[in-house]
Structure 1
């Protein structure tokens, strides 16, 4: 299993939440009597600190990643791509598809050799002759 990256902002947020929970727990047990306006602002301050640390961590990692990427060679410019051969292949494929669609007697989904017509002959003429040359049923 791949290890997770260290997130200091989450550590601070978790520690703040645990500290506030312990404060309220001690207050409920009667051991400590904090001022009512101490724990909630402490939670708010801890979450703001966690957000700042997270933003700084993200910026540092982004800068490090960009510096690492600048060491690698740049990809080839677009002018080096074989666009003419790609266009020729695309046009040939398109011409093949158009030729198939324009083929006489071939409907959509027709099996090879059936002609795909609606008449018993399959060629759409209605004469009852099959494309093989044999008379229809």
Structure 2
């Protein structure tokens, strides 16, 4: 299996959107009552935080000069010597 680059911004966005889904699922299941506008700040804050985390991650990766390959087959394809 090929390895992929870890993207913490997508992780944060997914966590907030999953939390929003859980809140609506609890409302639909009758466990609690959620007003329709209650999750708007949650989604907006989650997307803002995800963008901030993604930007910071990009800056850190550019400063480090990330040049190593992500997959092992790419490393084996280079000539040795």
Same-fold call, TM cutoff 0.5: yes
Q: Pairwise CA RMSD of aligned residues? A: 1.7
Q: Distance in 2 between matches of 1:51 and 1:26?
A: 27
The 4+ residue runs of structure 1 with deviation greater than 3 A are none
Say which structure, 1 or 2, has more relative contact order (CA 8 Å, 6+ apart): 2
Tell me, which stretches of 5 or more residues in structure 2 are unaligned? 68-81
1:5 offset after TM fit, Å?
Answer: 1.3
Computing the radius of gyration from Cα coordinates, the structure with the larger value is: 1
Structure 1 equivalent of residue 30 of structure 2: 30
Unaligned 5+ segments in structure 1 are 69-137
Structure having the higher helix fraction is 2
TM-score by length of 1: 0.45
Q: Displacement of 1:40 after TM fit?
A: 1.5
Instruction: Give TM-score, length-normalised by structure 2.
Output: 0.74
In 2: Cα distance, 1:36 partner to 1:2 partner: 41
